[in-house]
Structure 1
């Protein structure tokens, strides 16, 4: 049993097929298929159900996949520890970042980090939504991931920034000129939300349920610019951290403060509680605090 075989199996499952997995592991599709077949032959059981272009795990495959992700994560941790011997002159840091707020919060950190530690290879993985990032963190694909609080119990975390949520309304909406608005006052306005897997969507929907109503969702998207365009065209109301809403201001939209005090966007950097945190990761966390100051 070899790590390359385990990596092939894990990525086939994660990516949903042999062809996309081959792109992730930088191999040919036939090489990935051969690695999985060798693993099946060695173990003496089929690991995948192959249905056309789709693959699913067999019962044995589920057990092997679970163990394989842990073994690969432990291997990555070991390699990270070995990088410590070389100090911060060499090594790598794998970061998972979401599409919301990363350009504002982490681009300045990345620039300064590269200037101070040019020998560290910072590998950025962008995922749509906190759920996907948390899965990557648990599997060891990334060492640090930006995620919204509250963080899962198996993670440690460092707060980066808190921002109140604001309602982004069409300029001609009756409430667009108000200084503030309650979530309940927007119950008859269609919502433009982020897609499934985004913590920000859950925050808004949970607040609506607490207020006693189920919103009408006009659209879901993973693209901030597209959501702002939909709001500007009069489709409905979207909800963003204040700093992002102010950056996206235009003549067609208005950002209005929400009165609910608990409706906030609290971005953190999280890591597995049982994982070894590399010197590069600790340096990144220190750099975040240096650039943004102590978050409260």
Structure 2
């Protein structure tokens, strides 16, 4: 029995991944500049060529079926290799083009990415960059492992096995209203923070390892009055509802520029390390390699500020 293999064009693979990552045709069509029917036909054509379906339609949108779950990781690897090959062609011809997808916590994207993107674009204006914001660390980790994003900007956790490019280290501080009695102190104890109306940052997955350290100080005898995954709510609650919070120094400094709040050192020092994570540094595209090289340069400039 002879099996004929048809090698479809890369575009169909890219369309499939976009639809799966987005979970539907409407947003994918808008992102790619196609009509919904065009995308649907491309996926149907690809499934016909390979001889079996890869996706199924559910109430939540378009998702991979069992066969798709087996095939899509290989498709992602194929597209990565294709990207590396295309970039090599471009470099040989003396051109600088490419695409890069960065996942990040919203606060880090807001505070760090503008200067990094501006500087990188001045050197490599032909490279297209997409920044995807996500509150969930687990989601960012999953996207990075699956190749949905090329690099992730987040705080390092002890269990991480990603290749890591550190960018900055900073302590957590007490964020308090200007009129708060705690403002009279230069250093505030963690226990005192829990004695006030405390709001802490917490995702749907729970507290991260840094927040857990503050919880351990009280031996679990005290809890925050409010928990949220929105830094904007933290800022407003501290500024206008007499709450207090424990947040990273860079976020506190920015908050103090726009709201009637102050920040103080804590009697217990807990730091977080911010950086860029990649799946494997030795197996990245030229575009990502250039970006990571620039990040290392930008880090020195950031430290020197």
Larger Rg: 2
Aligned partners of 2:139, 2:200: CA distance in 1, in Å? 21
Structure 2: gaps of 5 or more residues: 1-7
Aligned match for 2:294, one of 278, 284, 287: 284
Cα distance change, pair 105–193 in 1 and its aligned pair in 2 (3 A): same
Question: If the length of structure 2 is used for normalisation, what is the TM-score?
Answer: 0.78
Q: Is the 8 A contact 1:5 1:35 kept in 2?
A: yes
Aligned position for 1:170: 177
8 Å contact from structure 2 (residues 26, 36) kept in 1: yes
CA–CA separation in structure 2 for the residues paired with 1:230 and 1:36:
48
Q: Which residue of 2 is the match for residue 51 of structure 1?
A: 58
Q: Which residue number corresponds to residue 245 of structure 2?
A: 238
1:9-158 aligned at under 5 Å gives the runs 9-52=16-59, 54-86=61-93, 89-92=95-98, 94-96=100-102, 97-115=104-122, 117-129=123-135, 130-150=137-157, 153-158=160-165
Match of 2:223 in 1: 215
Counterpart Cα distance in 1 of 2:284 and 2:251: 33
Secondary structure of 1:56's counterpart equals: strand
Of stretches 147-156 and 16-25 in structure 1, the one that deviates more from structure 2 is 147-156
Cα shift at 1:81: 3.5
Q: Is the 8 A contact 1:183 1:208 kept in 2?
A: yes
Regions of 4+ moved over 4 Å:
151-154
SS at 2:283's partner residue? coil
Q: How far does residue 207 in structure 1 lie from its aligned partner after superposition? A: 1.8
Cα distance 1:134–1:74, how it changes in 2: closer, same or farther (>3 A)?
farther
CA contact (8 A) 2:198 2:243 kept: yes
How many angstroms apart in 2 are the aligned matches of 1:131 and 1:80?
30
Indicate the RMSD between aligned Cα atoms, in angstroms: 3.2
